[in-house]
Structure formats: C-alpha cells, structure tokens
Amino acid sequence: MKSLSALDLFIFVIYFIVVAGYGYWVYHKKKKATVTASHDYFLAEGSLTWWAIGASLIASNISAEQFIGMSGNGFFVGTAVAAYEWIAALALIIIAIWFMPVYLKNKIYTMPQFLKTRYNETVSLIMAIFWLLLYVFVNLTSILYLGAIAISGLIGPEYLHAVLIGLAIFSLIITLGGMKVIGYTDVIQVAVLIIGGFATIFFALTIVSEKFGLGRDVVAGFKTLMAQAPDHFKMILSKPGANSSQEDINKYLILPGIAMYFAGQWIVNLNYWGCNQYITQRALGADLQTARKGILFAGMLKLLMPVIVMLPGIAAYVLHQNGGLQKEMIDSTGVLNQDNAYSAILSFLPSGLKGLSIAALTAAIVASLAGKLNSIATIFTLDIYMRYFKKKEEPSTGAGVEKNMVWTGKMAALVCIVIAVLFEWNDLLGINSKGGFTFIQEYTGFISPGVFAMFILGLFWKRTTGTAAVVGLLTGLGVILFFKLAAVNVFGSETILYTAFKNSQGHYEIPFLISMGWSFFFTMMVMISISLAGPKVNPKAFALDKEMFKLAPSTMVMVVVTLMILLALYVKFW
C-alpha cells in the first residue's frame, strides 16, 4: 500500500474491532429489553442518553461530505464555508426549543408520518418516495464515493473499488443492529473523529510552520495561514464587480456573501436539522428534556467542526501555493481537484497518527452511511411497506409482525447500499467533477424550500391545508428550476431579485442559495394564499401551548453558551 505503515494498519484494525465488538455487545444486551423489536430497531426508544443523541447526530452528520467536500471548499474559498456549520449550531437551538416539543407531544416517529398526521396521505407518500430517492441517489452515493476517493488516495487508487465495498459492508453491519447500536457506537465514532481530526490539524499547522522556517509551532502555523491566505479568513465574501476574477465569481456563486444569510443558508440548515428523518430520528425516541439536551450538545460540537474539516483545506491551499502539494492536489486526469485537499494533508502525517486519522475519516463515513441506511429502512418499512404492501388481512401487531418489520427494514438497507455501490462504481452521477459538498447542497436544495415551507407552516400555523402543502411543494420545485434554467433568459442577468454571473463554462448562473431563498418566499406566499381560502383552524392542526416551549435552567445555559461562542466567532472572522 502506498503510504500506510504496519502501525497504521494495526491502529485501523483495532478501531474496527473495538467498534464492531462494542456494537455486538450493545446488540446482545438490547435483546433483553422490553421495548418492541421494531421501535428498538428504528428508534432505540427511550434508551439513548442526551450525550449519545448529541454524539450520534454529529457522527452521522460529519462524513465524507464534510471531511472531503468541506475541506475542499476550505481549499477553494476558506472560512466562509464554515457558515454551514456555525449557522447549524443556531438552527439546532431553534429545533430543540420549538420543533421537538411539537414532534414529541404528537408522537411523531417519521417525517412522512408527520405529513400524514398534519396534512394527508398524498403529501406523506410523495415525500416518503422523495426522501428515499434523495437518500439513495444523493446522500448515500456521494458519501460512499467521496469516502472511497479519500481513503484510496492514501493507500493507492487501485484500491478504490475495494474501499467502496469495504465501507458499504462495514456500514451495513452497524445498520443491521438498529438505531440503538448506531447511537452508542456513534459515541466511539465521534470520539475518534474529534481526536483524529484535531491531531490532523495539529500536524497540518506544524507542517505549514516548518515549510516557512518557523519550526514545529502550531500557533506560528496558524498565523502563517492567516498571513499567506488572508482572503481565506473572511466569513462574508464581497459581491463580484466588473473587474473581479473568474475565481472570485466562482466562490461567490457557491457562497454569495451576506445575501445568503437572508436566503438559502437558513433553509439548508433548518430543513436538514428539523425536517430530516435521518437527523430527527435520533431524538424522536427520547423524552423532551433528553432530546433537547442532546440536540444542543450537538450544536456545541458543531462549533468545533470547521476547525477539524475546514482548516486542513486552508493548510493544503497555502502549501500548494508554495509548491508543497503539487502532485497531491492533481487528480488522475491531471486537473487540480479541491476534494484531494484532506487526503493530501493526511499523507504528511507520521505512522500511527495516519492510521488514527484514517480511522477518524472511516468513522465519519461509516456512521453517516449507517444512519442514512437506518432512516431508509425506517421510512420504507413504516411509511410505505406497512401502509401499502402489507396484506390487509394480516394482523397489524404481534411478535411475528415485529420481526417482519425489522427484517423488511434490513432488506431495504441492503438493497439501497448495493444500488449506491453500483451507481458509484464508475461515478455515474458525476460527483467528482462537481465537488462533493456543492453536489449535495445543490441537489438537496431543489426540494428543500418547499419541504421546509410545508413543515414550518404545518407546525405553527393552524390554518395550513393539505392542498396548500401539495401546491407548495410543486411551487418550490418549479421556482428553483425556473431560477436555475430560465430566469436569466427571461429577465436578464441583473434584476431586483438576483444578480447572475458567468460561471467557468461561460454561462450565466444565479447563486443557488439565492434561488433557494426566493423559492421559499414564493412557496410561502402560495401556501398562505391557498390556506386563507380554507377554514380558520384546520381540523388536523396541532395543539400548541406555551408550556411546551419552556426551558429547564440547564438547557438555557447550553443555549446561552452556544450563542456567546457563535457571536465571538463571527466578530473575529467577519
């Protein structure tokens, strides 16, 4: 293997044995519990502590799309990409305080179930199918492929397909144990992720420091990054002008300055953390206080993530600009590839630490894949199979039904991971050419404005109707497609709603976060207008009261600490 020593392999194997062994112990122990088999498999009902929920949220969220994709954007843009992580911390506060009480009081276990309870069967079925397609063809495929690219970049590109299969098998093993196994093994995964991540950035900064003749000094390395790449330490990108370079325009297209904070950035985060089965599933089996603390703990951990996943990309940029990573940043076609940034930094690490860092990367990939697979199993089993495929004459409860549900979920997970492997065997979706992080954000963004509008109005406005939800979903998709494909041809490149810029291919493009913002705005207007024609209180509206949203003192402390740290970060890097 290209750059792994026997010590690296030993550490990686030990990691695998520890995680698999602990997962088996949790699985064996849970068989004695009194919780029903299906709820234990899909939700780990009542058995995850707040710290396990928080760790699981982070382990499942931080994956190849962050380690590889966000590190790549760190190489290309810099700290501006940290907005995805730091606004997520604020979004998690909103979810913990206002969303979770409504979900838990109404015994919501899946997002399609929420839509059926609040709206109707049609909305629920449409979204269940959409989420399954999204998870398989955007999330599973991108995480699997980016992870395989990163790891094979360290051990040799000829091992790409072997790594692809290995990641799929490892994640499937964890998934088959159910949400409780996923939740508690994620505690180990996130610990390895953080330790390995910080070790990587420690050595990355010392490498930079040595490169510039300053010795092995972490602080000097960080100061060197800021001195050598000052443009990479700006949270808010300036709007390109007539004399702006194509590189500046390309950066603005993916992170459109202050404008994104009034548009898509909020939709991305609130939809992902509050309306996403893959995420909310971790907290839906707990009581309110446990769920809230777990979500807020995840928010505090999110503040650390840009250090782990973004700084290596900036370090790679500075080294590359100074002749230190010329070969490592070039892909097999001879083109500079930003998604190679993280693995390029890993190649400098000493034996042993490299194995730990690869274990951290693998932990992130496997945890994310396992969480996605469990969410696929949950949605398919509870919202499609049990409603539309199970024979009506069969009993709906009992031990036999419970086992059948769990078996169905496991088979769904198996089929979907096989599909993901097949599609990414030769990168049929073109993830590598687009940039992994941008690929996920953009394609998820086609539908997220409409989905978030359905949820926010369904949760907090009693007048919202099922008809409005269906029309709103179609409106959101239609508006964002219009902005992407036709708006410039119809209205020109400069309007009161947007400014379009020429991309690298010479075509005018509207920043997709801006398009998402307007898609959400027009969807809300359409849904409100339609709902005003209905009854003042929809019979399916949720009952809300002020007591639901009161916070315990310990919860309030977590909220305040997170907000203070977030404020300090933005003051520093604005």
Q: How many CA atoms are closer than 13 Å to the CA of 452, on its beta-carbon side?
A: 27
- Looking at every residue in the chain, the average pLDDT score rounds to 83
**For the whole model, what pTM was predicted?**
0.81
333 within domain boundaries:
yes
Percent of the chain's residues with pLDDT above 70: 86
Mean pLDDT value of segment 520-529 = 96
C-alpha span between 283 and 290 (Å, rounded): 8
Q: What contacts 69, CB < 8 A, 6 or more positions away?
A: 142, 146, 339, 435, 436, 437, 438, 439, 440
Q: Does residue 342 or residue 440 have the better pLDDT? A: 342
Look at the block and give the residue holding tokens 């159910």.
Answer: 178
Q: Show the 3-state SS of 286-320.
A: CCHHHHHHHHHHHHHHHCCHHHHHCHHHHHHHHHH
Cα 333 from chain centre: 29
Is 449 a domain residue?
Answer: no
CATH number at residue 200: 1.20.1730.10
Helix 512-532 vs helix 246-254: crossing angle, to nearest 10:
30
Which amino acid, 554?
A: S
pLDDT grade, residue 1 (50/70/90)?
A: very low
Q: What are the beta bridge partners of residue 571?
A: none
Give the range with max mean pLDDT: 213-217, 324-328, 552-556. Answer: 552-556
Question: What would the DSSP string read from start to end of 369-408?
Answer: HHHHHHHHHHIIIIIIIIIIIS-TTS-SSSHHHHHHHHHH
**Inter-residue contact 372 to 139 (CB < 8 Å):** yes
**What is the tens place of the pLDDT at every residue in 285-343?**
778 899 999 999 999 989 988 888 889 889 989 988 887 777 767 766 666 777 778 87
Asked whether the predicted pLDDT for residue 2 surpasses 70, the reply is no
User: Would you state the structure tokens that stand for residue 363, as one six-digit string?
Assistant: 């932990």
∠ CA 379-371-80, rounded to 5°: 115
Count other C-beta atoms under 10 Å from residue 253's C-beta. 21
CA distance 140 to 342: 20
Among candidates 462, 455, 453, which has minimal Cα distance to 532? 462
The average pLDDT across 157-169 equals: 85
Instruction: Give the chain's domain count.
Output: 1
Could you tell me if residue 129 is inside a domain?
yes
Residue 343: inside a domain? yes
The answer to whether the beta carbons of residues 23 and 174 sit under 8 Å apart is yes
What average pLDDT does the segment 349-370 reach? 78
Residue among 481, 471, 389 nearest 442 (CA): 481
Confidence of residue 44 (pLDDT cuts 50, 70, 90): very low
pLDDT (mean) for 471-477 = 92
Q: What is the mean pLDDT of residues 517-529?
A: 96
The pLDDT of residue 34: 44
Q: How far is it, in rounded angstroms, from Cα 472 to Cα 527?
A: 6
- Report the alpha-carbon distance of residue 257 to residue 263 in Å, rounded: 11
145 has pLDDT over 60: yes
Is the model more confident about 557 or about 360? Answer: 557
Q: What is the mean pLDDT of residues 400-411?
A: 79
Distance in angstroms between the alpha carbons of the first and the last residue of the chain: 43
Is the model's pLDDT at 478 over the cut of 90? Answer: yes
The whole-angstrom separation of Cα 99 and Cα 282 is 14
Q: Which residues of 533-555 are buried (b: 16+ CB within 10 A; e: fewer)?
A: eeeeebeebbeeeeebeeeeeeb
534 belongs to a structural domain: no
Predicted pLDDT at 342: 82
Helix (H) / strand (E) element for 502: namely strand 501-502
| Domain contains 191 | yes
Tell me if residue 508 falls in helix, strand or coil. strand
Domain membership of residue 169 (yes or no) is yes
The one-character DSSP state at 158 is: G
Residue 95 has pLDDT above 80, yes or no: yes
The closest of 515, 478, 476 to 497, measured between CA atoms, is 515
Distances in whole angstroms, Cα of residue 322 to Cα of each of 317, 325, 326, 328: 9, 8, 9, 13
> Which stretch of 8-12, 17-21, 49-53, 90-94 has the lowest confidence by average pLDDT?
17-21
Residue that wins the pLDDT comparison between 103 and 192: 103
Q: Which two tokens stand for residue 424?
A: 């990414």
Residue owning tokens 């309306």: 275
Q: What is the pLDDT of residues 165-196, one digit of tens each?
A: 888 888 887 776 665 666 666 677 677 777 87
Kindly state the average pLDDT of the residues 485-510.
92
In terms of Cβ atoms closer than 10 Å to its own Cβ (0-12, 13-18, 19+), residue 219 is exposed
Say how many residues make up the chain. Answer: 574
CA distance to 149, 320, 387, per residue, from 212 (Å):
30, 13, 64
d(CA 549, CA 172): 38
Highest mean pLDDT among 271-275, 362-366, 385-389, 470-474: 470-474
CB 313 within 8 A of CB 75: yes
**pLDDT grade, residue 508 (50/70/90)?**
very high
Q: Is the pLDDT of residue 376 over 70?
A: yes
pLDDT for the residue 36: 47
Query: In which element (H, E) is residue 160 found?
Result: helix 160-176
Q: Give the residue numbers spanning the domain of 174.
A: 6-27+34-243+272-427
In a domain, 407, yes or no: yes
C-alpha to C-alpha distance for 478 and 178, rounded to whole angstroms:
37
Q: Residues 254, 504: contact at Cβ < 8 Å?
A: no
| pLDDT-derived band at 433, boundaries 50, 70, 90 | low
* Residue 358, token pair as written in the block: 């690869």
Instruction: Report the C-alpha gap between 187 and 198 in whole angstroms.
Output: 17
